[in-house]
Structure 1
Amino acid sequence: MKTKITVAVSGLNNVDSPGPGIPVVRGLRESTFFEPRIVGLVYENLEPGAYMHDHVDKSYKVPYPSEGSGILMERIRDIHAKESIDVLIPNFDSELYTFMKAESELKHLGIHTFLPTLQQFEERHKSNLPEFGEKYKIKVPKSRPITRIQELKELEEDYDYPMVIKGKFYDASIAFSFEQAQIYFNKIASKWGLPIVVQEYIRGTEVNVVALGDGRGNTIGAVPMKKQYITDKGKAWGGITLDDPKMLELTHDIIGQTHWRGGMELELIRTDKKELYLIEINPRLPAWVYLAVGAGQNLPEALVKLALGYPVEPFTDYTVGILFIRYSYDMICPLGDFQSLTTRGEL
Structure 2
Amino acid sequence: MSAFLNQKQTQALTIAVTGLNANDNPGPGLAVIRALRAGFNADLKIIGLAYETLEPAVYLRDEVDKTYRIPYPAAGIEALKTRIKHIQEIEKIDVLIPNFDAELYNFIKIEKDLLEMGIHTFLPSHKQLIQRDKANLKAFGDENNFKVPADDVIFKASEINSSAEKLGFPLVVKGKFYDAYTVQNLSDAYNAFYKLQAKWGLPIIMQKFIKGIEINIAGLADGKGNALSVIPMRKLYITEKGKAWAGITIENENLIDLAKNFANATQWKGSFELEIMCEDNGDLYIMEVNPRFPAWVYLTAAAGQNQPKALVDLALGNPVNEFQGYKVGKMFIRYASDNIVDVEDFQKLSVFGEL
Q: TM-score, normalised by structure 1?
A: 0.98
Measured in 1, the distance between the counterparts of 2:106 and 2:194 equals 26
Give 1:111's aligned residue: 119
Partner of 1:169: 177
Q: Is 2:71 aligned against 1:71?
A: no
Report deviation, 1:157: 3.5
The correspondence for 2:325, drawn from 317, 330, 343, is: 317
Any unmatched runs of 5+ in structure 2? Answer: 1-8
- Distance (whole Å) between structure 1 residues aligned to residue 221 and residue 95 of structure 2: 17
- CA deviation after TM superposition for structure 1 residue 33, in Å: 7.8
**Which 10-residue stretch deviates more, 60-69 or 268-277?**
60-69
For residues 243-290 of structure 1, give each alpha carbon's deviation from its aligned partner in whole angstroms, at most 9, with x where no partner exists. Answer: 111100101111112111000000011001110001100000000000
Distance apart, 1:322 and its partner CA? 0.5
AA aligned opposite 1:121: L
Which of the numbers 194, 216, 222 marks the counterpart of 2:230?
222
User: Is 1:145 aligned to residue 153 of structure 2?
Assistant: yes
- Aligned with 1:179: secondary structure? helix
CA distance in 2, matches of 1:248, 1:281: 15
- 2-structure distance, mates of 1:179, 1:21: 36
Q: How many residues align?
A: 347
- AA at the equivalent of 1:110: G
Q: Confirm or deny: 8 A CA contact 1:2 1:33 kept in the other structure.
A: no
Q: Secondary structure at the match of 1:315?
A: coil
Question: Where in structure 2 are the equivalents of 1:228-307 lying within 5 Å?
Answer: 228-307=236-315
- Following superposition, the deviation at residue 68 of structure 1 comes to 2.1
What residue identity is the alignment partner of 2:221? G
In the aligned structure 2, how far is the partner of 1:66 from the partner of 1:276? 36
Q: Residue 31 of structure 1 aligns to a residue in which SS? A: helix
Rounded to whole Å, the distance in 1 between the matches of 2:305 and 2:279 is: 28
Secondary structure (helix, strand or coil) at the match of 1:302 reads: helix
How far apart in 2 are the matches of 1:149 and 1:2? 59
Partner Cα separation in structure 2 for residue 2 and residue 327 of structure 1: 37
Cα distance, 1:32 vs structure 2: 4.3
Does the aligned pair in 1 maintain the 2:77–2:109 contact within 8 Å?
no
Is contact 2:272-2:293 (8 Å) kept?
yes
1:34, distance to aligned residue in structure 2 (A): 7.9
For the residues of structure 2 that align with 1:50 and 1:32, how far apart are their CA atoms?
20
Q: Partner letter of residue 19 of structure 2?
A: G
Tell whether 2:82 aligns with 1:102.
Answer: no
CA deviations 1:206-244 (Å, max 9, x no partner) are 111000001011111110001111111111110000011
Between 298-307 and 9-18, report the one with greater CA deviation. Answer: 9-18
1:340 shift after superposition? 0.9
Structure 1 letter corresponding to 2:79: I
SS at match of 2:156: coil
What is the distance in 2 between the residues matched to 1:327 and 1:295?
19
Deviation at 1:3, TM superposition (A): 5.1
1:61 has 2:69 as partner: yes
> Which has the larger displacement, 251-260 or 32-41?
32-41
The equivalences for 1:113-132 within 5 A come to 113-132=121-140
- In structure 1, what is the Cα distance between the partners aligned to 2:10 and 2:264? 32
